[in-house]
Structure 1
Amino acid sequence: MTNYIGLIRKDPESDFGVDFPDFPGCVSAGSTLDEARAMAKEALEGHIACMREDGEAIPAPSSLEDVMADPENRDAVAFLVEAPDVDRLVRVNVTLEESLLKAISDRAPNRSRFLSMAAREKLARDSMPA
């Protein structure tokens, strides 16, 4: 399991906000600390899932020292958020018939995701007892 640093921030008139230095734009909030932590885990899982769908690389977790060295983070409270298993993406070249590639492209704008899903389905079917 991989853990990423979440930063909790609280202004006097706001909920507890959470952001992730390793994932700009991934933010969450909660009215209590417990709710903020739970919502942060959900937000991180969703953000990583979207990155995977888009074929984006998932960053390695930053160190606490690096995160807290940023003056913007000095007033935040750091905590660890468990992320889903992050399997590194690897670029490969494949050879397909032109008509098959066109059919895939017409059906799915993200060909890598389509091929990954098709491979997983085939492997799952092949591993079932007859």
Structure 2
Amino acid sequence: MTSYIALIRKDPDTDFCVDFPDFPGCISAGLTMEEARVMAAEALAGHIANMKEDGDTIPDPSPLDVAMANPDNAGATPVLVRAGLRTLRI
């Protein structure tokens, strides 16, 4: 199964927020980093399922260096997420 980069971000007064460079609009959050990682996998699985239902093309995963070269991603913690499976730390 293909893994995608998820970016976890945390500001002082927020939960851990997650977004995916390859799937704009696919976001999630959790009270802890571990909860955010679990919720990210569920969000990704649902997002991909909806894209497939709509006949959309599922993108190939971006390389980590490309995702992290974006200045908007500075300070984010990257993790690998497999839709419907556990996450893997990079």
| 1:9-28 mapped onto 2 (5 Å cutoff) | 9-28=9-28
TM-superposed CA distance for 1:83, in Å, is: 2.3
1:40-61 superposed Cα distances (whole Å, 9 cap, x missing partner): 0000000000000000000000
| 1:97-116 mapped onto 2 (5 Å cutoff) | none
Structure 1 counterpart of 2:56: 56
TM-superposed CA distance for 1:74, in Å, is: 1.1
Equivalent position amino acid for 2:80 in 1:
L
Structure 1's consecutive aligned runs of 4 or more residues displaced over 3 angstroms after TM superposition are none
- Identify the structure with the greater strand proportion: 2
1:5-41 superposed Cα distances (whole Å, 9 cap, x missing partner): 0000001000000000000000000001110000000
Equivalent position amino acid for 1:25 in 2:
G
Supply the distance in 2 between the matched residues of 1:82 and 1:48 (Cα, whole angstroms).
Answer: 11
Q: Which has the higher contact order (CA 8 A, sep 6+)?
A: 2
Query: How many residues get paired?
Result: 84
Identity of aligned residues (%): 64
Q: What TM-score do the two structures reach when normalised by structure 1?
A: 0.64
User: How big is the alpha-carbon RMSD for the aligned residues of Structure 1 and Structure 2?
Assistant: 0.7
The answer for unaligned runs of 5 or more in structure 2 is: 85-90
Indicate if the aligned counterparts of 2:42 and 2:83 stay in contact, CA closer than 8 A: no
Structure number with bigger Rg: 1
Supply the distance in 1 between the matched residues of 2:49 and 2:26 (Cα, whole angstroms).
Answer: 12
- Identify the structure with the greater helix proportion: 1
Supply the distance in 2 between the matched residues of 1:34 and 1:76 (Cα, whole angstroms).
Answer: 15
